Structures are given as structure tokens and as C-alpha cells.
């Protein structure tokens, strides 16, 4: 039989064991059933920050670190854009000043005269090429018509026995002219192909050098005028650095202008020599093709004409025989 004091001690010990863990300072670790783990993880998707393999939380935002190489490349790009903008502005200003008659420009009379001759020759060669191509197209149509006409005459020679010889000769002549015309068309097409090569490749390559020369000339004049304006102004501590920089830019663009001018002069000389050789050969081939075409056709027509019976030499008609006295 338990006494009252023993019962109190038992209640106190029972109360200590029933004390929650929070009161003792320990954190309660919840236990989950294995089947509940997947659902719990799904419920927490999007609520927890990303974690790296080590279990630490990964920071998703923060300052962007630019390395030294990237910074140098960006600065270099900005510097190129700045220089391009300044050059474009100066060149635009120079071109407008020249068109309005207020700006001076550097002129090389001999070189620019050769460029003008090249432009004029290019225009004339292009006109000749277009006309030759038109002639080839028209001759091709004539050849096709002559070939069809020859077939028709050949069919008539079979169906008209009294005119068998005449229809046959004309049929052969038209077919011969058509075949000869095809050879001439081929020669003209070869001529136009070589002329197109001369225009669109050889001369065009030189015209690219002309464009480079004109661009270098405008840049040179733009920086030359800029340097002249600075030389006319006051010289002090603030303007001396600008004057030195303008002098360096002027010198650089002058060297570039002189180099492009010399390159264009050499290019024009080589083009003139090559152009004479190519045109001499092509013109002779064109002439020989036309002469051969017409000479061969003339000989064939003369031979065909000699086989035809001239009017008045054939036998008398039925009316003439019936009307003659017996």
C-alpha cells in the first residue's frame, strides 16, 4: 500500500517525463512515413532557394563581375565607334562644303582624267554589249523562222511534183541559212560573254579602287581643313594638345591618300593594257564571224540560183501551144 508522499513523488516524476521538448530547449525532429516523402518534397518546390551539391543555399542575384579582358575589349570597341563617328562627321561636313562651293578639295588632274575616261569607256562598252546581245536574240528568232520555213518548203516539194526542184532548192537554202545563223549567234554570244567579264569583273575591280581613292581623298581633305582651322586659331595650353592630335591624324590620312592614289594609278595602267589585248582579240573574232557568215551564205545562194530555171526558158504552156498556128 502506497503512502501519500509516495503518490506525490510518482506524480512529480510522471510530470517530468510528460514535459514537452520545447521546454527543455531541444528541437523536435518530425518523422515521416516513406510514402509521404515525395508529396512533401513536391509541396516545397518553388518555396526553397536553389542549393548546390554541398547543401549550401545558392545566391540567385548579385553584382555581375567583368573580367579584365572583357573590359579591355569593350573599351576598344567604344574607341573604334568614337573614331568612326568623328571621321564620318568630318567627311560629311567636307562633302557638303564641296557641294556648296565653300570647301577646297585636293585634285589630281592626270589621275582624275584617266578615271573619267574609264567611266566613259565602261558606259560605251556596256552599250555595245547590250546591242550585241539584242542582235543575237533577234538572229536566233530569224534562224528559227528560217528553219520552220525550210520544213514547209520541203513538204511542198513532195506534194507539188511540177515545182519539186524549186521548192527543194528553197528549202535547202533556208535550212542552210538557219544553220549558218546559229554559228553566228554562237560567236556573238561568246563575244558578249567576254565583254561582260571585262565589264563586271576587270573594270569593276578597278572601279572599287576608284571608290577607295575617293573615300581616302575626302578623309584627307576633311582632316586637312580641320588642321588649317586649328592653325588659324589661338595657341594656348588648351589648344596645343588638339593641334598635335590633328597633326597626327592629318599625317596618317595623307599617307593613306597617297597610297590609294598610287595603287589606283598602277591599277589603271594594268587595266588599259589588258583591255587593249582582250578587245583586239574579241573584235577580230566578231568580225571574222560576220564575214564568214555572209560569205558562206552568198556562195550557197549563188550555187542554188544557178540550178533554178530562169523565166522564159521553160517549155511552152498549153495555151501557148493551142494558140499557135498549125
Q: Is the pLDDT of residue 125 over 90?
A: yes
Q: Is the pLDDT of residue 179 over 70?
A: yes
Q: Which residue has the higher pLDDT, 64 or 86?
A: 86
Quick one: pLDDT at residue 162?
A: 81
CA-based nearest residue to 172, from 271, 285, 307: 307
Tell me the average pLDDT of the chain: 78
**272-306 per-position pLDDT tens digit:** 999 999 999 999 999 999 999 999 999 888 887 77
For the chain, give the percent of residues with pLDDT over 90: 40
Q: Is the pLDDT of residue 68 over 90?
A: no
Q: Would you place residue 24 in the very low, low, confident or very high pLDDT band (cuts 50, 70, 90)?
A: very low
Distance (Å) of CA 196 to CA 34, 38, 79, 133: 84, 77, 43, 11
**70-97 per-position pLDDT tens digit:** 777 777 788 778 777 877 877 787 777 7
The torsion defined by the Cα of 120, 126, 128 and 132, in degrees rounded to 10, comes to: 180
Q: Would you place residue 138 in the very low, low, confident or very high pLDDT band (cuts 50, 70, 90)?
A: very high
**34-50 per-position pLDDT tens digit:** 444 444 444 444 444 44
Q: What is the mean pLDDT of residues 16-23?
A: 42
What are the cell numbers at 119? 567611266
For the chain, give the percent of residues with pLDDT over 70: 73
Q: What is the mean pLDDT of residues 101-109?
A: 82
- Whole-model pTM above 0.85? no
Amino acid at each position: 500500500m502506497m503512502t501519500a508522499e509516495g503518490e506525490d513523488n510518482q506524480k512529480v516524476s510522471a510530470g517530468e517525463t510528460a514535459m514537452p521538448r520545447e521546454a527543455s530547449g531541444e528541437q523536435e525532429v518530425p518523422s515521416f512515413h516513406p510514402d509521404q516523402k515525395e508529396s512533401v518534397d513536391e509541396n516545397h518546390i518553388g518555396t526553397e532557394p536553389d542549393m548546390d551539391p554541398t547543401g549550401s543555399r545558392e545566391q540567385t542575384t548579385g553584382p555581375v563581375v567583368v573580367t579584365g579582358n572583357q573590359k579591355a575589349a569593350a573599351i576598344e570597341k567604344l574607341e573604334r565607334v568614337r573614331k568612326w563617328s568623328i571621321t564620318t562627321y568630318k567627311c560629311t561636313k567636307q562633302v557638303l562644303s564641296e557641294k556648296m562651293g565653300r570647301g577646297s578639295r585636293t585634285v589630281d588632274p592626270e589621275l582624275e582624267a584617266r578615271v573619267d575616261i574609264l567611266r566613259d569607256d565602261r558606259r560605251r562598252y556596256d552599250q555595245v554589249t547590250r546591242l550585241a546581245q539584242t542582235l543575237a536574240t533577234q538572229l536566233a528568232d530569224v534562224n528559227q523562222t528560217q528553219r520552220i520555213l525550210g520544213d514547209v518548203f520541203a513538204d511542198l516539194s513532195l506534194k507539188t511534183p511540177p515545182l519539186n526542184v524549186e521548192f527543194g532548192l528553197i528549202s535547202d537554202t533556208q535550212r542552210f541559212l538557219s544553220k549558218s545563223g546559229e554559228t553566228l549567234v554562237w560567236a556573238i554570244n561568246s563575244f558578249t560573254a567576254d565583254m561582260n567579264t571585262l565589264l563586271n569583273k576587270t573594270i569593276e575591280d578597278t572601279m572599287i579602287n576608284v571608290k577607295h581613292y575617293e573615300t581616302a581623298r575626302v578623309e584627307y581633305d576633311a582632316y586637312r581643313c580641320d588642321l588649317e582651322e586649328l592653325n588659324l586659331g589661338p595657341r594656348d595650353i588648351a589648344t596645343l594638345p588638339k593641334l598635335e592630335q590633328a597633326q597626327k591624324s592629318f599625317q596618317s590620312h595623307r599617307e593613306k591618300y597617297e597610297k590609294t592614289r598610287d595603287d589606283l594609278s598602277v591599277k589603271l595602267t594594268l587595266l588599259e593594257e589588258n583591255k587593249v589585248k582582250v578587245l583586239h582579240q574579241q573584235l577580230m573574232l566578231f568580225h571574222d564571224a560576220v564575214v564568214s557568215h555572209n560569205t558562206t551564205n552568198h556562195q550557197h545562194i549563188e550555187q542554188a540560183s544557178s540550178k533554178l530555171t530562169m523565166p522564159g526558158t521553160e517549155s511552152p504552156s498549153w495555151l501557148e501551144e493551142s494558140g499557135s498556128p498549125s
